[in-house]
Amino acid sequence: MSVVRKSGTGLRRSLPWSGCILRNMGAGVTGRKFSASPLPSEEASLYVHWPYCLKRCSYCNFNKYISRDVNHAEMRACLQLEIETLLRVSQVSRITSVFFGGGTPSLAPPSTVAAILETVARRADLPVDAEVSLEINPTPVGLASLEEFRLSGVNRFSIGVQSLHDEALRVLGRDHNSQDALHTIAEAQRLCPGRVSVDVIFGRPGQTVESWEAELTELLSACDDHVSLYQLTLERGTRLFKQVEAGQLTMPGDDVTAHMYESARRILGKRGFLQYEVSNFARNGAVSSHNISYWKAGQYLGVGPGAHGRFIPRQEGALLREARTQTLEPDVWMKEVRCRGHGTRRRIQLGPLALGPTVPCPTRPFSACRLEEVLAMGLRLVEGVSHRRWKEFSPDADLHQVFGLSTEVQDLQKRGLLVLDDRGLRCSWGGLVLLDSLLPPLLLQLQAYHDHQGASG
């Protein structure tokens, strides 16, 4: 487990369908086109990256930039243009969900969010009930903009609370306090009841199991129906890493953080939250449909500086999915978008399996193998990888053929860490905690099966 990104004027004139939003606040963005159900290859989710922050947190190594002079009009125009380009290249006709992440996307003008959604709705089918999420930094500025973001079409808020202890927030370099967080949660719940997620970090410097349990209990008394837990990971080059290296701060040991995770699962379960992914818990069905599309290997378009995407560029006659990364630096990205309609810096074809004898590695940023991604991402889900999902990507070899005869996989089943049955392949309750150590032997078996089939064929 590791910490992952979790981390106006004229508004109504910018939306030709804003009146419909006001009449259908409970349903999300409206004024969208309806169509018959498209093929899976014709639909995708959309991730929009807003790269700017007011400051950098002590633990953060994400692609973000501290700028006091953002050209909002230019950024908005480039995001719209890149969306249009990637929709055309992919020939995606239906966007199933939209996620605004960053950076701090709540620093963007709500009119920018509205304009982006209008562009999507104009170029593709954006269903009335599509999930439209926005990451919120729970500062007074973020709180003041919530209602405008709701009117712009956002129907789900993801709030980076991280901690309810002010001293911990100071150590993490956050620019809000616990009262800011509680006020933001309350207002977000008023605007989007049942569709508010809170992010919280455990394994922080000086944190104990007892203090963590008390903090989580306090948070659950105020939060909505979705919680994301992330274990703090020290990243080289960050201020927090340097402080720990210098002995100024002490991190909890692995046994302590493992205890924290287990106690959190227990506390959340008692409060009615069901775990559906390694880090994510929901009650009343409030799962993140956008993130589930990642874990189930759905197509997604990534727009904005440093965004990642996975889709088939059908306009170019391609049949294989590509992994794409957009240019990191905002100014360079904008120049590229103005020049050629998009800022794609890197493209890698994702074949059925990695080519050659190289052992798959779950930590490398890009995998040249669709099945590796299906396996590594799908096993993050409590439900795992279903036979139907696997068959979509591996029509010639089912899960039993690939993994069923492996002595190592059989041993993991005997130890109660892995389950392979008529539902598919998944981690057990205890195995989910050890996912990072379970993946390497599974990926090795996947490669071994591929090599054997190649040699015999």
For 83, residues 6+ apart whose C-beta sits below 8 A from its C-beta are: 46, 48, 116, 119, 120, 123, 301, 303
pLDDT in tens, 124-138: 999 999 999 999 999
What value does the mean pLDDT take over residues 321-331?
95
Place of tokens 């905690």: 433
In the numeric block, which tokens belong to residue 119?
């562009």
Which pLDDT belongs to residue 355? 34
pTM, two decimal places: 0.86
Place of tokens 């209008």: 118
What value does the mean pLDDT take over residues 421-432?
96
pLDDT of 242 > 80? The answer is yes
Report residue 353's pLDDT band, with 50, 70 and 90 as the boundaries.
low
pLDDT of 101 > 80? The answer is yes
For 363, residues 6+ apart whose C-beta sits below 8 A from its C-beta are: none
- Whose CA is closest to 412, among 394, 434, 390? 434
pLDDT in tens, 267-300: 999 999 999 999 999 999 999 999 999 999 999 9
- Whose CA is closest to 195, among 133, 152, 148, 138? 133
Which pLDDT belongs to residue 325? 96
| Residue 90, Cβ density class (10 Å: 0-12 exposed, 13-18 middle, ≥19 buried) | buried
Q: How many CA atoms lie within 13 Å of 112's alpha carbon, on the beta-carbon side?
A: 23
pLDDT in tens, 22-45: 223 233 333 343 333 445 579 999
> Are residues 370 and 321 in contact, defined by beta-carbon separation less than 8 angstroms?
yes
| 49-63, 112-126, 294-308, 380-394, range with the lowest pLDDT | 49-63
